[in-house]
Structure 1
C-alpha cells in the first residue's frame, strides 16, 4: 500500500470514528456545586410541571450554545473522551461545533496527520468535517469531508441499513427538548435539590428509563415495525443494556443549563454531559465551498479500487513468477 493510500485510509478511519462518537458527548460534577443545607424537594406533580414547561421553552428556542463531553469506558477499543463546543440547532437539525480529538482517534489516523481539533458542521442531513491542511495535501487541496448518511444508505441498497441511517439522523436531532420529553416518561422522575451550575442557581432533577421504556417513548424509532422494535429490545437485553440514567438542571428562566445522560452495558459505560447557554442564539450554518469538499463515499470507492488494483497486481506477479 502506498503512503498516499495509507494516509487516505487513516482519514477515513478518523471520519468514521468521529461520526460514531457524535451519533451516538463525563465529569458529572464539573461546573456543578451542591447547595448546602437540607433541600426542599418538590412533589412529583410540581416536578412534572417544571420539566414540561422547560420542554416547551426549549423546543421553541430551537438553538443554543453547548459544551459537550462524551466519555466511553470499558474495552480499549471503545474507551476515550470526546469534547465538543459550539452552536447546535433543532427543528431543523443544525450544528457548528469544534471537537477536541481524543488520543485514541488521533492514533487511528496517525498516518493522515490529523489535527488535534476538528470543526464539524451538520446541515441538510449531512456532516462536514474540517480535517485540516495536512489532510488537504492528500485530497487535492480539499480539507472538508462530507458524509451524507441518507445517500450512503440509499447507495447501499440495504433496506435495514436505510432504516438504521434514518434512525441515526433522528438521533442527531436529539435536542435538549427531546431529552426532556423522554425524562417525563420516567416512572421515577424526582427533584434532587438546588445546585449551582457555572455560577447559576438551578434545580436538579433525575430519572431512569429501561430500554423498553425508551423504545416506547423515542419517536425516532417510529420507522421500525412492531416486530423490529421487539427485536431491538431483545437484542438490548441480551447485550446487557438495562436502561438510561438522565439528569437535568433547570435555571430560574426555565431552561435546562446542564444535562447528564448515562448508559451501562457489559462492554463499559457511555456518559454524556452537555452544558447549554444562550438559547435562541443565531445559528447560521453554511456548508463549506464545494471546491474545498470531498465526499466520503467517493474516498471509500477510491480506496476499494486501489485495494483491488493492488490485489490484481500481486496475482499477476505470482503468475509470472511461476512461468
Structure 2
C-alpha cells in the first residue's frame, strides 16, 4: 500500500452494516428473471438460442444493478429502470461475444463456459451480438413505463453514444491498434479503458438517474462517481489478469500479457496500480456524501470493485 493514499484506505476500510453480498444476490435474482423473460425463443431458433446462451450465462450483472440502484437513489423505482437495466446487459453481452471472436481477443471461455463462437460458430456469434444490440434499443422503447418520454429518448441517445465510435467501439479500435506497441502512454491507456469499459459503467449509473428525473447537479455528481469506478474497475481487471487463476476469472488468465497489451501494471507496476484504483474509489465515494445512508449500495459496490478477486 502506498503511504500517500491513507485517505483512500480509510474510506475503503470504514465499517458498514450494509450487507453487500445479500444485496447483490437479491438484485441479481431480479435481473436474471427479467433477462430470462425479456428474450423468448423465436424463429429461426438458432439465433435466439445463441443470443440467450450468452445473455443468460451468468456474471455479476453489475451494470443493471447499478442502473436500478441509481434510479431508486434519485427517486425512481425498480420497475421504471428494469427495461434499461436489461438493455445494458444486452449491450454488454454483445460486446463480450464480439470481443471473444478470433478477430478480436480470440478467447475460448467466458464466465467459465465456452464462448459463443465456440458453440454456434463465428457467423452466428456475430449475428447474435448484432441481434442483442438492436434489441436493446427496441426493449427500452417498448417496455419502459411511467417515465417521461423525453427521458426515455435521452436514455436511448445515451446508449447509442456509449456503444458507438465515441464509446465502446472507439475504445476497442484503439485497444486493437495498441497491441504489441511499447510506447503506449498512461493517457492513451486511460482513453482506451474510459471508452471500452468505463463508458458502459458510466451510462449504467447515469441512465438510472435520467429515468428518475434527477437534477442536473445530481447527474454531475453521479457521472464523476461512475467515471471513477469505471476506470478503477479496469485497473483491477488488469491486475487480476496477472494475479488470478483461470477459475477465478472464468476465462483465460494472462491473455493481456500474451497479446502484448499495454496494461496499468505494465506501466505502473502492481502496487501503484492498486493504489491508483483505491484513490479513484475514494474520490467516487466523495460524490455520494450528500445522499447519506441512502447511497450505501453504491458505496458498497464501489468498494467491492477495488477489493474483488474475480
Instruction: State the TM-score, normalized to the length of structure 2.
Output: 0.29
**Structure (1 or 2) with the greater helix fraction:** 2
**Structure (1 or 2) with the greater strand fraction:** 1
